[in-house]
Amino acid sequence: MENSKSPCNRWYLVMLFCLILSFVAFMIGPRLNYAPGLIHNCAIMIGLWAPTAAIFGVRAELLARLK
């Protein structure tokens, strides 16, 4: 049985957090009167962390299978 706090699950949680944080930046940013360009750039940068975290999750799964 796999541990629920395995490294791959943690990376997938980081991926979901990045996606949610990016969405929140798009939704809350205009209400806080930030410049649209700044909101867009920050949300895109945060959103790009998600695929990176997913790749690390897949890598952790593959390493766990090798052990």
Is 23 within 8 Å of 44 (Cβ atoms)?
no
Q: What is the pLDDT, as a whole number, of residue 8? A: 80
In the predicted structure, residue 2 carries a pLDDT above the cut 60: no
Q: Where are the domains of the chain?
A: 12-66
Is 56 within 8 Å of 11 (Cβ atoms)?
yes
Q: pTM surpassing 0.85? A: no
For 39, list phi and psi in degrees, rounded to 5: -60, -45
Is 16 within 8 Å of 46 (Cβ atoms)?
no
In the predicted structure, residue 1 carries a pLDDT above the cut 80: no
Element (H, E) at 44: helix 36-66
Token pair belonging to 1: 């049985």
Task: For 12-66, write each residue's pLDDT tens digit.
Answer: 899 999 999 999 999 999 999 999 999 999 999 998 998 998 999 999 899 888 8
